[in-house]
Amino acid sequence: MNSGVNIFKNVFFLLICLNFTCFAVFAQQEVSDEAILKMDELDDKPIYLGTTSFLTEVQKHMRLPEVDQDIDVLVEVQFVIETNGTISNLKCTKDPGFGFCQNALKAVKSIKPGWKPGVKYGKPVRTEFVMPLRIKIKP
């Protein structure tokens, strides 16, 4: 009789533990609408909907200054891909000067179409996108 009670207690304890474990797993599967996730946190990464790569489009729209010496610089642009595929919070995080950041920001703003947003737990989410641009110019 005692072993039957012990088995019942063990099974009951196991069921309680499984219930809390399932609750913890499902509770983690929610992302706030305001949260901005990084690429490595996503189930599916955003996809640019253009016919060429996004980087190619940026390069095509960039206006480069006339120079009298070799220039090799790194510009870094960061923005958020929204759940509707538009971009927001556009800023330059590495500015080498010479107007490169302003030109890169204008190029990114001018590009159409938009993006298929990143996905987490089957739901579109806001995603941070960081794009380094290596610019080399010869006179």
Residue 45 scores a pLDDT above 60: yes
Are 23 and 46 contained in the same domain?
Answer: no
> In sequence order, what are the residues at sequence separation of 6 or more whose Cβ sits closer than 8 angstroms to the Cβ of residue 88?
79, 80, 82
**Do 5 and 58 belong to one domain?**
no
Nearest Cα residue to 84 out of 114, 49, 52, 122: 114
pTM of this prediction exceeds 0.95: no
Q: Which of 43, 28, 56, 127 shows the shortest CA–CA distance to 87?
A: 127
DSSP-assigned letter for residue 67: -
Model confidence pLDDT, tens digit, residues 49-90:
999 999 999 999 998 877 788 999 999 999 999 999 999 999
Whether residue 43 is found in the same domain as residue 15: no
Per-residue pLDDT tens digits for 21-36? 444 455 457 889 899 9
Range of the domain at 18: 1-30
Alpha helices, H only, the chain: 2-27, 54-61, 100-110
Domain count, the chain: 2
Residue 29: exposure state from Cβ atoms within 10 A (0-12, 13-18, ≥19):
exposed
| Other CB atoms within 10 A of residue 67 CB | 11
Question: What's the CATH code of the domain at 121?
Answer: 3.30.2420
Task: Specify whether 24 is located in the same domain as 58.
Answer: no
CA–CA distance from 72 to each of 19, 97, 98, 134, 139 (Å)? 58, 12, 12, 7, 12
The answer on 73 and 8 residing in a single domain is: no
